[in-house]
């Protein structure tokens, strides 16, 4: 996922001033497709670890839709990152130079979330709640 608004574009003609961390967090937390799928299944995504557990329990009806699957997976990863940033002390969003959003933990560890989210959407493994538990321990 390339996030051009962060000001990290290499070409001077497209360079923009960096967005503030709160704006980045707000944008990355939208996860509209995932929130819609969850709401249809009766799951409220309230940015808590318990909501990750609820997502892990959903019947994965989206797996039959090859067009939706990668987008939903990316949303799942961004939602995982959102829960980590909002509940794990010292965790913050960071945008890599290539535009990929990652979570930087207080320990300094950089945690990728979008690829594990896509893996979760495609196969249910790793579970989002388990990933959260691992990141929260770091």
What pTM was computed for the model? 0.86
Q: Map residue 18 onto helix, strand or coil.
A: coil
| Contact between 58 and 51 (Cβ < 8 Å) | no
Look at the chain and count its residues: 138
pLDDT digits (tens, 9 = 90+) for 38-73: 999 999 999 999 999 999 999 999 999 999 999 999
Q: Map residue 133 onto helix, strand or coil.
A: helix
pLDDT digits (tens), the chain, 138 positions: 444 444 444 434 444 545 788 899 999 999 999 999 999 999 999 999 999 999 999 999 999 999 999 999 999 999 999 999 999 999 999 999 999 999 999 999 999 999 999 999 999 999 999 999 999 998
115: tokens are 């690829």
Q: Map residue 136 onto helix, strand or coil.
A: helix
Pairing between β-strand 101-104 and β-strand 110-112 as defined by DSSP bridges: antiparallel
| Contact between 132 and 91 (Cβ < 8 Å) | no
């Amino acid at each position: 996922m390339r996030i051009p608004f962060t000001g990290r574009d290499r070409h001077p003609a497209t360079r923009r001033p960096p967005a503030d961390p709160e704006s980045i967090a707000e944008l990355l937390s939208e996860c509209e497709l995932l929130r819609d799928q969850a709401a249809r299944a009766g799951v409220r995504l309230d940015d808590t670890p318990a909501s990750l557990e609820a997502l892990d329990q959903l019947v994965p009806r989206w797996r039959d839709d090859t067009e939706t699957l990668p987008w939903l997976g990316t949303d799942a990863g961004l939602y995982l990152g959102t829960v980590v940033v909002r509940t794990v002390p010292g965790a913050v969003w960071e945008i890599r130079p290539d535009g990929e959003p990652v979570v930087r933990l207080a320990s300094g560890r950089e945690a990728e979330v979008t690829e594990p989210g896509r893996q979760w959407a495609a196969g249910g493994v790793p579970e989002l709640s388990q990933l959260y538990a691992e990141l929260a321990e770091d």
